[in-house]
Structure 1
Amino acid sequence: MAQTQANLLYAALLLPTVLYLAVNRRRRTTSRLPPGPRGVPLLGSLPFIDRNLHTYFAGLAAKHGPVLSIRLGSKVEIVVTSPELASEVLRDKDPIFANRVMPEAGNAISFGGEKNIVGNPVGPKWRLLRRVCVHDMLSPAGLDGVHSLRRREFRSTLRYLHSRSGEAVDIGAQMFLNTMNVITSTMWGGTIGSDSERAAIGHEFRELVAGITELLGSPNVSDFFPALAPFDLQGVNRKMGRFREKFDLMFARIIQQRVEAQQDGGDTVADFLDTMLKMEREGGDGKASFTMNNVKSLLLDMVVGGTETTSNTVEWAMAEMMQNPQSLKRAQNELDMVVGRDAIVEESHLSQLHYLRMVVKETLRLHPPLPLMVPHCPSTDSTVGGYHIPEGSRVFVNVWAIQRNPLVWNEPLEFNPERFAGDDVDGPKWDFTGNQFDYFPFGSGRRICAGIAMADKMTLYSLAMLLQGFDWKLPEGTQIDLSEKFGIVMKKATPLVAIPTPRLSKPDLYYS
């Protein structure tokens, strides 16, 4: 207790000096920075920010322009809100802006000080991690190799939903569980054989992921005043350290089981853990090492980064379609034509579900998983739109606001999947490659999301399963709420709860 009080006293004495230096530095560069709100001495705009940063920044952009600066504590932040300037940051000057600024909470979760794929600076280690993810695990061939594991988990979810027929189901929570089970199964599905073991691991992971995402999304004084970071005044690093230790033990147990199974010559289902352990035995690619800490970091990346983003997109899509019943009916009619009601939709059907793909695209336009993307960080002083951007500043690209630009999108606030109908014929090709800066829900440049193929397949497959297998209605006396809750990923402020009614021809299909 005495040590804690001493730390707080020291921080209180140090804070005025830190803030004075920060304000003076701000004054020296203000004339070159993009325009923005003045804020107040010492704290900048911290007292005025809204927790829904994407809408708050969009409002500032309407007043100050498509590139603005805002001081939060001792840090200068840059916000970009136009396709042209997004292109300048993410394509024209990608080598300068390719690195990331990790929050203190993100650094605290690392294994052995090894940064994950999100936090690693561009270099040999980042390129190795990226290759392992994109080419070895999440490539079309890699995903095809674990198709049976995905199918197993989707069938399990289908059975569960059928058992809940006529009862209210939290769709977002159920899709989180489904996504979590798919991801953990494809990570190490051959190691954990029984349903009860998978369920136990999944439950433990859900609790840990919820704790991590809450800490990552909470304001942390260490991020606004880096000089105070060593004191960890809010205890964020200590809490993250406990989460890391739990993950470390779980991963170590899973890895040990796999190593022993391989040594015993037992049969295991090929999965992503095999790929990473092979790379760890080889020691890397000759340019960068690949250690057991990297194995654990990538496992954590997949579990934390792939669950809420996908499940939230599915929940948003279902909410939008239930709010627009003609869209839901059209998607179900397409499924009836392609699959029918005497069989279960499979991944092999997805390429034929053109309207459902439009639904996914429109959902990602209105509700991109990361509305401000992961902040970029210039490795040297640069310019955007003719304004000075300091080295080390955080640069937010407000993809949420850009994808609602009325100069590009007709009735931009309306849910209208048909706006993407010309993609495969003679219209603009709105895809997920990040080559267009009116629509880039997964980012752009060399830092574009590594899991696009997995996310696309999982989202489309999840929606197809929900819509082909069931009709959905709201509980009596409730209505759809499309309000947003800002966080690491874009969430619905109110969970979507709906009642499923089976629509396939035979009950046995749900248990095949």
Structure 2
Amino acid sequence: MNMAADFAHGPCGLPIVGYLPFLREDLHHQFTELADKYGPIYKLWIGSKLWTVISSPSLIKEVVRDHDTIFANRDITVAARISSYGFNDIAWSPYGSQWRNRRKLFVREMLSNSNLEASCNLRKDEVRKAIKEIYTKELQKEVTTLLHKVEEITEDTIDERMKNPSNKTEAVEATKDGRTDFLQILIDLMQEEDNKKSLGKTQIKAMLINILAGGTDTSSTTIEWVMAELLCHPNVMEKVQNELDKVVGLNNIVEESHILKLEYLDAVVKETLRLYPLGPLLTPRTPSQSCTVGGYTIPKDSTVFLNVWFVQRDPLIWENPLEFKPERFLNNTEKMDFSGNNFKYLPFGSGRRICAGLPLAERMVRLILASLLHSFKWQLSEGEKLDMSGKLRLTLKKKIPLRVTPVPRLSNIELYE
């Protein structure tokens, strides 16, 4: 019986190889063009593998909410197997009891509010070190490649958080249970009797890679896209800096306590991730059994893409969708946030496989952006032209790295010390 006999239509391919020879590097753009032609759900064969592309909020809801358990598995790739030490992490491991246990440990223990609050001073120190270095380089008229600098901040913060207990900060020492860093937390959890089946050395290595990839890559790429849009729209950058001057002041430095008051900066981040979601097709899913979505059969073990790029730029959903307009996220009556509960806006996914590292990434992105924009005016380096095209790899990055020149905007030099 052909399980796909009643399935959605889609582009024709060639015998044996299917549509494979026609795939482009900019898969999100190609899938969007095909959605314009074939509608919100269509199929294409890649060799003997069936791919399904879904490009509407209502059908995405069927996948991530109505049939979330069936679609809880990731599509298996060789690269994923290697990077996850044989699917022993959070991002790629199959859905089941061991995945649930590991994710619970990851979210409740490692990225709990108490642990993130405990490392507040650490994040602050690393950001201040970076601000000082940028200021020093500015005096020497050195050009900053923004992505590399942000990667250094996030990597240093996470590396420091992973060090042994002898490197505690005062804030971390004050934590309730005394566990001071990600690695120590995982080691302690591994030694608990209830966790021995789901957490060993291999799982710890895989989960630390999740933290590094999620905390560093997600944060640095988001910040680069935000800064690029602000350089495209200097009036928006001015509004962000006016808000910072009002909330933080010109004789102070940015603290995490300021972040929740920076509503316009928050809207700028959300609008940037609407236009440039880091995973424009999210991570492909594969159903554990045949399932009906939108009246069509999706066979077991096929590959399903959720085209967030299309949805978040759909003119039927968003007014002037290609316009960068942070104001659309102010007075947010539709509750457009990163929780994945509004299927028109899913930059970090939805359902039980939503990005587990989101709490850390949110804090890092807002703190770094606020500090960079509060401390400096930013302009394109001499001879640079702003190119907003992207390249899709594991995440959607700028095709041409952003090269910028910072200009100090605080009169008190001691704030750069």
Short-chain TM bin: over 0.9
2:355 is aligned with 1:429: no
* CA-atom RMSD in angstroms: 1.7
Structure 1: distance between partners of 2:167 and 2:80: 29
Equivalent residues of 2:87, 2:94 under 8 A apart: no
Q: Deviation string for 1:19-51 (max 9, x for gaps)?
A: xxxxxx9xx455322211110111111111110
AA at the equivalent of 1:159 = K
Shift of 1:300: 1.1
Task: Map 1:270-419 onto structure 2 (within 5 A).
Answer: 270-285=180-195, 288-419=197-328
Q: Report the Cα offset of residue 184 of structure 1.
A: 2.0
The structural deviation recorded for 1:272 is 1.5
- The letter for the 2-side match of 1:161 is I
Partner of 1:485: 391
Equivalent residue runs for 1:255-266 within 5 Å: none
Please, which moves more after superposition, 469-478 or 347-356?
A: 469-478
Which residue of 2 is the match for residue 22 of structure 1? none
C-alpha separation in 1, matches of 2:150 and 2:254:
17
Could you tell me whether the CA contact under 8 Å between 1:96 and 1:379 is conserved in 2? Answer: yes
- Distance in 2 separating the partners of 1:413 and 1:77: 28
1:177 maps to which residue? 152
Shifted more, 476-485 versus 341-350: the winner is 476-485
> 1:189 offset after TM fit, Å?
6.5
* One-letter identity of the residue aligned with 1:473: Q
2:162 maps to which of 172, 184, 187: 187
- CA distance in 2 between counterparts of 1:109 and 1:479 reads 36
Quote the offset at 1:327 in angstroms. 0.5
Instruction: Work out the CA distance in 2 between the residues paired with 1:473 and 1:482.
Output: 15
Structure 2 distance, partners of 1:494, 1:156, is 26
**1:454-493 counterparts in 2 under 5 A?**
454-493=360-399
Q: Which residue of 1 aligns with 2:355?
A: 449
Distance 2:329 2:278 in 1: 19
The superposition leaves residues 47-89 of structure 1 with CA deviations (integer Å, 9 ceiling, x where unpaired) of: 1111011111111111111111111122111111000100000
**Deviation sequence 1:284-329 (CA, Å, 0-9, x none):** 447x431111111111111123211111100000000110011000
Match for 1:489: what amino acid?
A: T
Are the counterparts in 1 of residues 288 and 300 from structure 2 also a CA contact under 8 Å?
Answer: yes
Q: Aligned partners of 2:281, 2:163: CA distance in 1, in Å?
A: 32
Separation in 2 of the partners of 1:125 and 1:456? 27
**Distance in 1 between the 2:75 and 2:252 partners?**
48
Distance, in Å, in 1 between the alignment partners of 2:17 and 2:154 is: 40
- Taking the aligned partners of 1:182 and 1:461, their CA distance within structure 2 comes to 12
Matches of 1:333 and 1:70 in 2, distance apart? 49
Matched residue pairs, number?
406
Corresponding residue SS for 2:70? helix
Does structure 1 conserve the Cα–Cα contact (< 8 Å) formed by 2:264 and 2:326? yes
Q: Conserved in 2, the CA contact under 8 Å of 1:33 and 1:388?
A: yes
Secondary structure (helix, strand or coil) at the match of 1:500 reads: strand
Which residues of structure 2 form unaligned runs of 5+?
169-177
Aligned residues of 2:291 and 2:298 also touching (Cα < 8 A): yes
Matched to 2:295, the amino acid is G
Once the two structures are superposed, residues 321-354 of structure 1 have per-residue CA deviations (whole angstroms, 9 ceiling, x without a partner) of 1100110000000001111111111111101111
Tell whether the 8 Å contact from 1:319 to 1:480 is kept in structure 2 after alignment.
Answer: yes
Normalization by structure 1: what TM-score? 0.77
**Regions of 4+ moved over 4 Å:** 189-193
Q: 1:404 Cα shift?
A: 0.8
Q: Could you give the per-residue CA deviations for residues 119-166 of structure 1, whole angstroms, max 9, x where no partner exists?
A: 222222111111111111112112011112212211111111111113
Q: Which runs of 5+ in 1 are unaligned?
A: 1-24, 194-267
1:438-481 superposed Cα distances (whole Å, 9 cap, x missing partner): 01111111111111111111111111011001011112232211
| Separation in 2, partners of 1:171, 1:114 | 33
Q: Is the 8 A contact 1:430 1:439 kept in 2?
A: yes
The percent identity for this pair of structures is 43
Mapped contact 2:59–2:293 kept (Cα < 8 A)? yes
Matches of 1:189 and 1:395 in 2, distance apart? 41
Query: Do the aligned residues in 2 keep the contact of 1:372 with 1:400 (CA within 8 Å)?
Result: yes
| TM score, norm. by length of structure 2 | 0.94
Kept in 2: contact 1:100–1:377 (CA 8 A): yes
Against the structure 1 CA distance between its residues 412 and 296, is the aligned structure 2 distance closer, same or farther, given a 3 Å change threshold?
A: same
